[in-house]
Structure 1
Amino acid sequence: MSKYLYIFDMDETLVDGDCSMLWNQYLVDEGYVDIPNFLDIDKELMARYARGEMDMEEYLDFVMQPLSDIPTESVDTMLYDFVERYVSPRVYEEAKTLIHSLKNTSNDMLIISATASFIVSKVAKSLGIAQSLGIDMVVDNNRYTSKVDGVPSYREGKITRLEMWLQQKSDEYEGLHFFTDSINDLPLCNYADRVYLVNPCEKLKQAAQGKNWQTYAWSKTALSCAK
């Protein structure tokens, strides 16, 4: 029987929102941030990401600051609350249906995200996807730092991380199916065998012209509509 690997971007693909931005909102709401205009600066940095212009090192230097004095165990506990309250209500119903249907097949699923892996892994598990890759952060003195451990899963780095992951697997796949919304994932789109665009950004729409990529318009969540 043929076996395929279904690869998902996370933010704005499975979740109606960006989990990094939602996490930063959570940190502000819970009183962990004392940086003036933190969310406004975060919004500007993420706007650069949407345009495919983000400097990931600059972004991580900024957004990891609130965690510098929080033990990793405490962050882990916070993440359960965060995912339940801020992420789960924003998961696309179409994503839930697709994930459920794939669980009844012989195919595998993997999330690859440019969000920090300590967030990605919690979101992935809440979705019922056991395997995930994110940007691994160096831990020093039991605290997350802004330094990246290894290759960041961002742009071409997603291909590198995927290939490293595949080398550690004994499974052989007939093809790679990839779901995304972002122009930053164009390298992986060109690498995959089948591509599915979920509410794609304008730049990705343009890049998809002339290609046999399927486009989905997944319904916005009630939280998004209430903004």
Structure 2
Amino acid sequence: MNIALFDLDHTLLPIDSDFTWALFTNSIGWTDADESLKQNDIFYQQYVDGVLDMNEYVRFVTRAIRAHTPEEARAAHNRYLAEFIEPQVRAEALDLLRSHQQAGDTLVLITATNRFIAGPIGERLGFADENIIATELELDDTGWITGNIDGVANLREGKVHNLQQWLAARGLDWEKVHITFYSDSYNDVPLMEKSAVPVATNPDERLRALAQERGWRILDLFPTE
């Protein structure tokens, strides 16, 4: 099986969907803008530095969701998609996805962003729900989000673990697939090293330097924010 594997933020989208979700919840009054932006900056720097505590971050990013009913949260997400994500869907990204589809590749999205935020974005970009690997959220007895992570956070080595689980569920392993992996982030080096064709896409400074050193393909798909 040929798999075209994609990170989401700054790879297929020129933005960070978690950060943009915070901007959205600020705009509708669900979160305090000053406090939210300050905390988000701290978390983002921890992500860049490779020291982000995903459990702490998921509790932070889901707090506005958990304070509302599932119906209210899903309605808000529909508005977020229309107002904050749709304007950032770029033709270059859609063309790249289409080229892999036409080649017969299986499209898989793998993102550290949690399932509530990332799932509908992935579907908008054309990924089947079962081919979206995200940070999963623990649900309570009512089926609503607790603020905890379910399973292994989909970040750094966690992406390798979760993709391996995805493959195993389909009777596959690393030797039975050919993976082309597009990512912008140095955090994804563990998975890029497991992939047949790593593609540093809109790469951050450290990933660009590593890609140049190792002779990996570099794809500047579009300017990122």
TM-score by length of 1: 0.89
- Where does residue 66 of structure 1 map in the other structure? 64
Q: How many angstroms apart in 2 are the aligned matches of 1:52 and 1:81?
A: 32
1:86 is aligned to 2:84: yes
- Where does residue 165 of structure 1 map in the other structure? 166
Do 1:72 and 1:142's aligned partners in 2 also have CA atoms closer than 8 Å?
no
Which amino acid letter does the alignment assign opposite residue 54 of structure 2?
M
Q: Deviations over 1:72-114 (max 9, x none)?
A: 2332232222122211221333211011222223210110000
- Where does residue 184 of structure 1 map in the other structure? 187
Q: Does the C-alpha gap of structure 1 residues 151 and 36 become closer, same or farther in structure 2, counting only changes over 3 Å?
A: same
- Where does residue 132 of structure 1 map in the other structure? 132
Q: How many angstroms apart in 1 are the aligned matches of 2:164 and 2:143?
A: 29
1:117 is aligned to 2:115: yes
Do 1:135 and 1:153's aligned partners in 2 also have CA atoms closer than 8 Å?
yes
Q: How many angstroms apart in 2 are the aligned matches of 1:79 and 1:68?
A: 13
Q: CA deviation at 1:68?
A: 2.1
- Where does residue 40 of structure 1 map in the other structure? 38
Q: Does the C-alpha gap of structure 1 residues 52 and 92 become closer, same or farther in structure 2, counting only changes over 3 Å?
A: farther
Which amino acid letter does the alignment assign opposite residue 218 of structure 1?
L
* Higher share in helix: 2
Q: How many angstroms apart in 2 are the aligned matches of 1:108 and 1:200?
A: 23
- Where does residue 205 of structure 2 map in the other structure? 202
Matched positions, count? 220
- Structure 1: runs of 5+ lacking an equivalent: none
TM-score by length of 2: 0.90
Do 1:7 and 1:177's aligned partners in 2 also have CA atoms closer than 8 Å?
yes
Q: CA deviation at 1:56?
A: 1.3
Do 2:5 and 2:182's aligned partners in 1 also have CA atoms closer than 8 Å?
yes
Moved more, 157-166 or 167-176: 167-176
Which amino acid letter does the alignment assign opposite residue 139 of structure 1?
L
Q: Deviations over 1:155-184 (max 9, x none)?
A: 100011101111112578541110000011
- Structure 2: runs of 5+ lacking an equivalent: none
Q: Percent identity at matched positions?
A: 27
